[in-house]
Amino acid sequence: MENDGKRRLVFVTVGTTSFDALVKAVVSQNVKDELHKRGYTHLLIQMGRGTYSPTKCDGEDGSLSVDYFTFSSSIADYIRSASLVISHAGSGSIFETLKLGKPLIVVVNEDLMDNHQCELAEELEERKHLYCARPLTLHQTLMKMELESLVRYTPGDGTPVAKIIDRFLGFPDD
């Protein structure tokens, strides 16, 4: 896919903590090259409390433009304007992206002590809603990524829970 002059944004989010390994992985040369090859024009990184700041690049020479910020209250707006989202494995970011119907690569933080987060990402990958990677395998995942094979996620809601709670407490069904 070649760049036809349109802005195609890759948005990277690490959530409320820090995840330097992810930031380093996305700005590594082979990942940037692969993104550029696939027609993405901008790389925007929300880096949280991380200490590693990547080199900014305005992309005027036709290369991938790189920019970053620490926090924002309007992450949803960035996701909405993105063509691809690369996210940490927190359930908030995952479902926010899936609900907006954006292609998603989740990168699992292997440094976390209680690493139950990969359970969710792996389950959703099995159901073909997203791709799951580690910082070191991000490049490989990008290489094999086929956006057409992703299945759109149908959001659930709390209706079944509400029904059971209502019945338990003796409320009539409406």
Binding site for other proteins (CB under 8 A): 15-16, 90-92, 95, 99, 116-117, 119-120, 122-123, 155-162, 164-172, 174
Q: Residue 64: exposed, middle, or buried by beta-carbon count in 10 A (0-12, 13-18, 19+)?
A: buried
Least spacing, CB of residue 91 vs other proteins, in Å = 4
Beta bridge partners of residue 87, listed in sequence order: 13, 106
Comparing CB distances to other proteins, the nearer of 136 and 162 is 162
Helix (H, G, I), strand (E, B) or coil at 158: coil
Least spacing, CB of residue 148 vs other proteins, in Å = 24
| Structure tokens belonging to residue 77 | 């707006």
Comparing CB distances to other proteins, the nearer of 136 and 165 is 165
Q: Are 121 and 132 in contact (CB under 8 A)?
A: yes
Comparing CB distances to other proteins, the nearer of 16 and 53 is 16
Least spacing, CB of residue 67 vs other proteins, in Å = 25
Least spacing, CB of residue 131 vs other proteins, in Å = 17
Comparing CB distances to other proteins, the nearer of 63 and 111 is 111
Comparing CB distances to other proteins, the nearer of 7 and 163 is 163
**CA nearest 72: which of 42, 93, 54?**
93
Long-range contacts of 70-77 (CB under 8 A, 24+ apart): 70/46, 71/16, 71/46, 72/46, 75/13, 75/46, 76/100
Least spacing, CB of residue 88 vs other proteins, in Å = 11
